[in-house]
Amino acid sequence: MFLSQLNEDNKELFLNLCGHAVMADDVVEPEEMEYLALCCHEMDIPNQLPDISTSLNDILKDIAKSASAYEKNIIIFELILLFKYDGNYGDEEKKFMKPVLDKLGISIEKHDEMEKAADKYMSVYNDICGLLNV
């Protein structure tokens, strides 16, 4: 949705962050891989598997250093959408999100607002898809 606005380095960092995120609950759902493909398309980068060889901590340090506050908000919002795309933003995924929020300086209140907005977005998105897929 907003990923095209990230700079090139942050696009790659976001994708690698997503690699760690999809492993948060130890289950890689097909919907999560579908969402990653959509993200790559939106960011105009080749559809590729995320590189998870870099530690989550190092990825977050790099994002914290290189991303603007606006880009950090985009990253968090899109990460929430990734988690919600399979219909289940579970406890393990929320647990994963805590250090991400901390490292990027995003409050839990801001996260909660983004989560509510993501719910609205997903509802409208699903309604539109239903209309298009007659």
pLDDT digits (tens, 9 = 90+) for 100-128: 999 999 999 999 999 999 999 999 988 99
Mean pLDDT for 5-19 is 95
**What CATH number is associated with residue 78?**
1.10.3680.10
Query: How does 7-23 read in b/e, with b if 16+ C-beta sit within 10 Å?
Result: eeebbbbbbbbbbbbbb
* Reported pTM: 0.91
Distance CA 89, CA 111 (A): 13
What's the total number of domains in the chain? 1
pLDDT at 59: 97
User: If you average pLDDT over residues 49-64, what whole number do you get?
Assistant: 93
pLDDT greater than 70 at residue 134: no
Is 89's pLDDT higher than 90? no
Mean pLDDT calculated for residue range 46-75: 94
pLDDT score for 130? 92
The domain containing residue 97 runs over which residues?
Answer: 3-132
